[in-house]
Structure 1
Amino acid sequence: MIENHNETIDEFLTRHAFDVEEAVRKAAAQEIMPRWRRLAEHEVDRKSGPHDLVTDADRKAELYLTGVLAALLPGSVVVGEEAVHADPRSYEAIQDDAPVWIVDPVDGTRQFVRGDTGFCTLVALARRGVVYASWTYAPVHDQLATAVRGAGAHLDGERLRAGSPGPGRDLRVATSHPDFTTDEQKRALLGLRTDGVAPRPCGSAGLEYLAVAGGESDATAFNWEAAWDHAAGLLLVEEAGGTHLTRAGKPFDIRGGNTLPFTAARDTATAHRVVDLLSDAA
């Protein structure tokens, strides 16, 4: 058993961050992109509802990443979206002491199935609720965003800086789709329909976080907690200079128990404004 996980994670990232990057790229090259716009009917299934899709690309890419990542860091475990669907108890590993890889093999599966370009692969390395590193890969455009806690966020090697929204325009906020919310969450999200805010339904969560980290979007307002959708992007936003807050005014915790909806934003002022609007309307 690893005696000092924090030190081990730091040392691991120094030695093997590029190996993780290569694993993410290979998973996309071998299992995802050959199926993009070529999916047969039998390669697409529904999980919990008509909008909750899974494909052979999701399953096979996750299997590949699970094998490679667990081998790279002895003593670590993998929590992947498709494995959790098969065995919900496996999600509990996020609460444990061991380093955990959090994997969404195809974030934006609906877009992937439609043949759209708006999907990505998400990998994060965390322990005890703290995300230490993340990889967000958009394979259609061959764009890779990375973040390491305390070392910044980068897109294809260039530093990402979220900055602050410019004056004189509406805040651009990507929101959860109202069809997938509780009544209370729907009321909260309606608080964004006010002067000075331009809400729109979100696409791939990972790409929405990347847009905030790069200053192309101002904030998100999401109402679900699945760590594979959020862990990578939240660190990306943090390391680009942004922040995230729940409706209780606390940072989002990937282990759960958050007051929803929550926001990730380019700066603290924007985060508080979005949370205030969500809280006032709920």
Structure 2
Amino acid sequence: MIEDFLAGRLSDVEEAVRKAAAAEIMPRFRQLAEDEVIEKNGPHDLVTVADRRAEEHLTASLTALLPGSLVVGEEAVHADPSVYEAIQGDGPVWIVDPVDGTRQFVHGEPGFCTLVALARGGEILASWTYAPALDELAVAVRGGGARLNGESIRSGSPAPGAVLDIATSHPDYTSDDQKRALLGLRVPGVHTRACGSAGLEYLDVARGQLDAVVFSWEYAWDHAAGLLLVEEAGGAHLTVAGEPFRIKGGNALPFTAARDAETAARVRGLLLGA
């Protein structure tokens, strides 16, 4: 059933994502009232009425498109952590971050996106990364490549000897051990900066505008869409244990996604102090 869906209904998902953003996100962009923004776990972890309404919109539309599927959304999991357990099952699961980059959204900056991935049994099958304020939509299908606004994209490889540009986790989201690992990136030939929207950083890796990302948390809604996008564009991802990142969890952190396998291995080595 899911194979038939992937063969013929992907454009319907794109339409659902666009409609959710048009109905619930963009009318509130730069229009949020003070009481429509709430801190969840600190000043860098915000939620707005747009996040909640967009997730509700997507939950209804995506489960209607694929009967029997479940949705694991960031806001639903915040309300009921047991929702996250659906990722461990064998049925089709939509993994949704309604507004990735909420801080940017709240500040009226265009660098935010909606992330949707379809997975089954821990394998990401397809993904959608939609930045409505930038008019960019990236789609990836396992074994079918990656596209941005309908055009095929490839991550390529960094130029020999070029400085590596890497976006990393914000220090607020790193443990002491992870901070020590990130210090391994402070070497000649590497330039690091704090990441913005995770989804858009993955997109920049997939289209060769950023060499790698390094993240220290494993919530699937932040990573599922982007990891498949990077893979299908020719990139690779590794945890510090030398294994690909698993959306089911239990990963050794931090992990990296990079433009090619060689760069991923190089970044892993730096994180290990090798």
Instruction: Give the TM-score normalised by the residue count of structure 2.
Output: 0.99
Give the alignment of 1:25-40 within 5 angstroms.
Answer: 25-40=18-33
Q: Which residue of 2 aligns with 1:107?
A: 100
Q: Which residue of 2 aligns with 1:259?
A: 252
State the AA in 2 paired with 1:248: A
CA distance in 1, matches of 2:142, 2:3: 9
CA distance in 1, matches of 2:118, 2:209: 25
Residue 168 of structure 1 and its aligned partner are, at CA, apart by: 2.9
The 8 Å contact of residues 173 and 217 in structure 2, kept in 1 or not, is answered as no
CA distance in 1, matches of 2:34, 2:199: 26
Q: Which residue of 1 aligns with 2:91?
A: 98
Query: The residue matched to 2:273 in structure 1 has which SS?
Result: helix
In the TM superposition, what whole-angstrom CA distance separates every residue of 1:76-111 from its partner, at most 9, and x where no partner exists?
100000000000010000001110000000000000
Which of residues 52, 59, 64 in structure 2 aligns to 1:66?
A: 59
Q: Which residue of 2 aligns with 1:16?
A: 9
Q: Which residue of 1 aligns with 2:36?
A: 43
Structure 1 position 122 matched with structure 2 position 143? no
Structure 1 position 274 matched with structure 2 position 267? yes
Residue 118 of structure 1 and its aligned partner are, at CA, apart by: 0.5
CA distance in 1, matches of 2:266, 2:66: 40
Which of residues 68, 81, 84 in structure 1 aligns to 2:74?
A: 81
CA distance in 1, matches of 2:74, 2:212: 24
Q: Which residue of 2 aligns with 1:179?
A: 172
Calculate the aligned-residue CA RMSD, in Å.
Answer: 0.8
In the TM superposition, what whole-angstrom CA distance separates every residue of 1:50-70 from its partner, at most 9, and x where no partner exists?
221000000000000000101
Residue 263 of structure 1 and its aligned partner are, at CA, apart by: 0.3
Query: The residue matched to 2:9 in structure 1 has which SS?
Result: helix
Q: Which residue of 1 aligns with 2:187?
A: 194
Structure 1 position 224 matched with structure 2 position 220? no
Residue 179 of structure 1 and its aligned partner are, at CA, apart by: 2.2
CA distance in 2, matches of 1:142, 1:14: 25
Q: Which residue of 2 aligns with 1:152?
A: 145
Q: Which residue of 2 aligns with 1:212?
A: 205
| Larger displacement relative to structure 2 (8-17 or 70-79) | 8-17
Structure 1 position 132 matched with structure 2 position 130? no
State the AA in 2 paired with 1:75: G
The count of aligned residue pairs is: 274
Query: The residue matched to 1:172 in structure 2 has which SS?
Result: strand
CA distance in 1, matches of 2:198, 2:97: 11
Quote the sequence identity (%): 72
The 8 Å contact of residues 234 and 259 in structure 2, kept in 1 or not, is answered as yes
CA distance in 2, matches of 1:236, 1:253: 15
Q: Which residue of 2 aligns with 1:5?
A: none
Q: Which residue of 2 aligns with 1:3?
A: none
Instruction: Structure 2 unaligned segments of length 5 or more: list them.
Output: none
CA distance in 2, matches of 1:221, 1:51: 18
Query: The residue matched to 2:217 in structure 1 has which SS?
Result: coil
CA distance in 1, matches of 2:189, 2:100: 30
State the AA in 1 paired with 2:244: P
Residue 48 of structure 1 and its aligned partner are, at CA, apart by: 1.7
Query: The residue matched to 1:225 in structure 2 has which SS?
Result: coil
CA distance in 1, matches of 2:173, 2:82: 23
Q: Which runs of 4+ in 1 moved over 6 A?
A: none
State the AA in 2 paired with 1:166: A
CA distance in 2, matches of 1:71, 1:29: 19
Instruction: Structure 1 unaligned segments of length 5 or more: list them.
Output: 1-7
